[in-house]
Structure 1
């Protein structure tokens, strides 16, 4: 039998472009109208492999993940796909990382003026996109309303970061979170601290479809137009997005999704309201919150944790209390309220280190 004739590939329709940030080296993501059949046709024409397809409710199209079996650079393949009218978007499958620094003080409630005896967030749906969590931890047992595994083919090894984030938001009993009455939705999207755009899109779609009012995203990666569109569409549905600013230092590039317009970008401060040294800086920073040596649940107990991840969780839990108290759920209005009532830190006015300043729950609830 003669060997199969390889597909005739069209030349690039645009020059291969430099790609910012880390990405899966043998994959691209596209969106298209139609289903798996159209994806298969595109893959066959361009010498690609269909690795997954699914319909994104936030993007309103099918997301196809194509593998590149022959070693062509991702930028080259994206350039080849640029001329195909069947495709609405073509992006790298960017890699994102959790924002936890290595690190006992239970100071968070005091610093943000949130009365620990009155916190609730009852019936406010908060989704966490993170590692798996420890469902048997006393602080989380019986607290998780729904779960989703965006990595079903990968064994669960890591439960630490997700346990801490979910516990800071909705922990009860042995460890009280910021909003112990919240309806907690938990999506596993990370293993060994790493995820990809395709996985995060699936998790965000699930959170939106489950009725999340707040989504906590304690991770950072490069700008990606598909994930940007999904975040924008989620906010247009009224979902408040809270994200970690990043732990990569003053000279690091902007961290996404925190740097997307409308996403509440949170940096970390310590018990003295000093900025975490390794925090990202930039005009996209919105708010500061405790995130240096804050106590949080971990598998098997409680420990001090450090990172903008945990500051973001504290802000997510605080927002759940604001919603429970009757504050508007409109993302832009909430962000403006939190900025207006924050305690100014650093130079007078908004700055690239602290944003508008330290979140002040009491002032926000009073609407000052």
Structure 2
């Protein structure tokens, strides 16, 4: 908290427990337990070219339940963090008939993260259960798939709704990371806006620059498409193509973002709960980095959207020019605040267009936060979170609710909070 300032206490609605089966409206089907030899890849369907494994005497058969996996994921991969060097990861993979597809040291997690391929068709849940038997494995998770949150169809009305004068909006000097598609750096609205770039998908050709251009433009655009926080220093990580990405790619982008000494990371995407995602955003928040994410565009009955639903993240829903909730928005106790996100004018490759989605509402909130930090760089992440919540314009039922969270952000009031 900023020295000499105090805020009214805000009591948030308890966040969902990501490990609880009650955290989403519908849970996955749990498969029956099976007999798995944790030390013998021959216990699973045979691989065409299994790696050599040293024979072990008296290898026990253990009763292991396949791990139930929810959400979309890469069907033949798992992610693990390893207590040991790359050779330890290779040994673990060989013992279970897996392929080491990539391996690197995570700056946020401080451990080696390996992406194992499953060459023989075993279900991901079975492999996760098999990996549970090895003490060298610190964590294991599916390689979940995440998607950008743009609805099917910043703008001038956004400034007025969040109580900030467009002529006075400033994000000067605030370092912000955007994890998204590639951006069109040749667009006039982005001229000189992006200070650094990172491609977490080097092996995939760039075909899509639309979503990333709009998000960065809403944040810090200049000229005829002014952003909420012009002057902010943007570090743009390309981690999406065709609207999709994976946990391994996103973790690489998060690591890079943290290394840029940013104050804030904008994550306008949604996917399932994932152990590595939870640990990464937790580690980033411990560093004092603010994390802003889209609540999701999958409707009121949709499961909670992650990373927004993690307690370290500011989950943003979208409203229109009359403060009505976007119909497609996710609902849930994890929603923290609301911001304009319906029919916003935003830069796109080749010009401007109207965009809709919680993705763009998240960018509006990130821009508002940049204004607060530009005016008072010593404000802590905790101060910013509480200032947004305590000064928001309450919408819907009194108090925090599952539609609007604490309500529509009020940048002017937040800046004056004590």
State the TM-score, normalizing by the size of structure 2.
0.85
Q: Hey, what's the Cα distance between the residues in 2 that align with 1:35 and 1:333?
A: 39
Aligned counterpart, 1:123? 173
Matched, 1:322 2:372: yes
Aligned counterpart, 1:68? 118
Q: 1:45 to 1:299 in 2, by over 3 A?
A: same
Aligned counterpart, 1:92? 142
Of 305, 325, 333, which residue of structure 2 is paired with 1:255?
305
Q: Hey, what's the Cα distance between the residues in 2 that align with 1:257 and 1:140?
A: 27
Q: Hey, what's the Cα distance between the residues in 2 that align with 1:126 and 1:11?
A: 51
Aligned counterpart, 1:101? 151
Aligned counterpart, 1:183? 233
Runs of 4+ residues deviating >6 angstroms? none
Aligned counterpart, 2:79? 29
Q: What pairs with 1:137-152 in structure 2 (closer than 5 Å)?
A: 137-152=187-202
Of 277, 298, 304, which residue of structure 1 is paired with 2:327?
277
Aligned counterpart, 2:28? none
Q: 1:31 to 1:130 in 2, by over 3 A?
A: same
Q: What pairs with 1:295-306 in structure 2 (closer than 5 Å)?
A: 295-306=345-356
Aligned counterpart, 1:196? 246
Aligned counterpart, 2:90? 40
Q: 1:5 deviation in Å? A: 7.5
Query: What is the CA deviation profile of residues 225-247 of structure 1, one whole-angstrom value per residue up to 9, with x for unaligned ones?
Result: 11100000000000000000000
Q: 1:106 deviation in Å? A: 2.2
| CA RMSD after TM alignment | 1.6
**Residue 343 of structure 1 contacts residue 356 of structure 1 at CA under 8 Å; is this kept in 2?**
yes
Specify every segment of 5 or more residues in structure 1 that has no aligned partner in the other structure, as ranges: none
Q: Hey, what's the Cα distance between the residues in 2 that align with 1:25 and 1:12?
A: 24
Query: What is the CA deviation profile of residues 191-228 of structure 1, one whole-angstrom value per residue up to 9, with x for unaligned ones?
Result: 00000110000000000001111000000000001110
Of 129, 133, 141, which residue of structure 2 is paired with 1:79?
129
Q: Hey, what's the Cα distance between the residues in 1 that align with 2:212 and 2:358?
A: 14
Query: What is the CA deviation profile of residues 263-283 of structure 1, one whole-angstrom value per residue up to 9, with x for unaligned ones?
Result: 000000000000000000000
Q: 1:6 deviation in Å? A: 5.8
**Residue 122 of structure 1 contacts residue 183 of structure 1 at CA under 8 Å; is this kept in 2?**
yes
Q: 1:51 deviation in Å? A: 0.5
Deviates more, 1:125-134 or 1:95-104: 95-104
Matched, 1:239 2:289: yes
**Residue 52 of structure 2 contacts residue 94 of structure 2 at CA under 8 Å; is this kept in 1?**
no
Q: 1:12 deviation in Å? A: 5.9
Specify every segment of 5 or more residues in structure 2 that has no aligned partner in the other structure, as ranges: 1-48
Q: Hey, what's the Cα distance between the residues in 2 that align with 1:310 and 1:204?
A: 19
State the TM-score, normalizing by the size of structure 1.
0.96
Q: Hey, what's the Cα distance between the residues in 2 that align with 1:224 and 1:230?
A: 10
Matched, 1:367 2:414: no
Higher gyration radius (CA): 2
Query: What is the CA deviation profile of residues 282-313 of structure 1, one whole-angstrom value per residue up to 9, with x for unaligned ones?
Result: 00000000000011110000111000000000
Aligned counterpart, 2:32? none
Aligned counterpart, 1:218? 268
Aligned counterpart, 2:401? 351
